[in-house]
Chain A
Amino acid sequence: ETGVTQTPRHLVMGMTNKKSLKCEQHLGHNAMYWYKQSAKKPLELMFVYSLEERVENNSVPSRFSPECPNSSHLFLHLHTLQPEDSALYLCASSQALRSHTGELFFGEGSRLTVL
């Protein structure tokens, strides 16, 4: 049982669909992240929210739209995706401390396939 839960675990969508990925953290952390993991590539940071404010946006295409309604929930809204967007999408959380940012804890991921 992980402190960060993601749904759905698997998603298949067409290029014209709209879907959302959901993430919930039960660790009391104050920062939440979306990462993309593709084969043979390092994890790519997409978005970071700290205290519900977006603090990082890594030049991600506008077809990915994040939403953070509170410190425990994070969404990634998907629309008009491309086949190259097929990947494992990982949500993570951390507790930002005064001296440094703490460890990053990941959810189990949402495997996305775009047809």
Chain B
Amino acid sequence: QKEVEQNSGPLSVPEGAIASLNCTYSDRGSQSFFWYRQYSGKSPELIMSIYSNGDKEDGRFTAQLNKASQYVSLLIRDSQPSDSATYLCAVNKRGTYKYIFGTGTRLKVLA
């Protein structure tokens, strides 16, 4: 079982729709959760961090964490073509410096 799993996609959504990206993780000791956006040929850019169960909103982005289900998601409202990128989920193990990444979900927002 992979430590952090994401559907590789591509996930295609029309412009203006809500894009929903999902991530599961295997280590129950995981404490910190992150979403990164990576454009082709560029480095990952932090979008959201979430540390406790529930929702966290920042502009058009909402991160959702459910530790009991070992599940974290990212919702992008009013999706724009500029949101087209690969979205990486990362998990940090408690007490370590290890940030474990998923393979990423490729999102395509169709104009």
Q: Which residues of A contact B (CB under 8 A)?
A: 2, 31, 33, 40-43, 45, 48, 50, 55-56, 88, 90, 94, 96, 100-109
Give 4 A-B pairs besides A55-B97, A109-B43 with Cβ atoms closer than 8 angstroms.
A43-B44, A56-B98, A104-B46, A106-B36
Interface status of B49 (Cβ within 8 A of chain A): yes
Q: Closest CB-CB distance, B90 to chain A, in whole Å? A: 7
Interface status of B60 (Cβ within 8 A of chain A): no
Q: How many A-B residue pairs have CB under 8 A?
A: 59
Given the complex, which residues of B lie within 8 Å of A105, measured CB to CB?
Answer: 46
Interface status of B32 (Cβ within 8 A of chain A): yes
Q: State whether A100 touches B97 (Cβ < 8 A).
A: no
Q: Closest CB-CB distance, A80 to chain B, in whole Å? A: 27
Q: State whether B103 touches A41 (Cβ < 8 A).
A: yes
Interface status of B20 (Cβ within 8 A of chain A): no
> Given that A100-B94, A101-B92, A104-B90 are contacting pairs, would A45 and B43 also be in contact in the complex, using a CB cutoff of 8 Å?
no
- The majority secondary structure among interface residues of chain B is strand
Q: State whether A108 touches B46 (Cβ < 8 A).
A: no
Q: Which of A33, A45, A50, A103 contacts B46 (CB 8 A)?
A: A103
Q: List 26 A-B contacts (CB under 8 A).
A: A2-B43, A33-B99, A42-B100, A42-B102, A43-B88, A45-B99, A48-B97, A55-B97, A90-B44, A100-B31, A100-B51, A100-B92, A100-B94, A101-B32, A101-B92, A101-B97, A102-B49, A103-B46, A103-B49, A104-B46, A104-B90, A104-B99, A106-B43, A106-B44, A107-B43, A109-B43
Minimum CB distance partner of A91 in chain B: B43
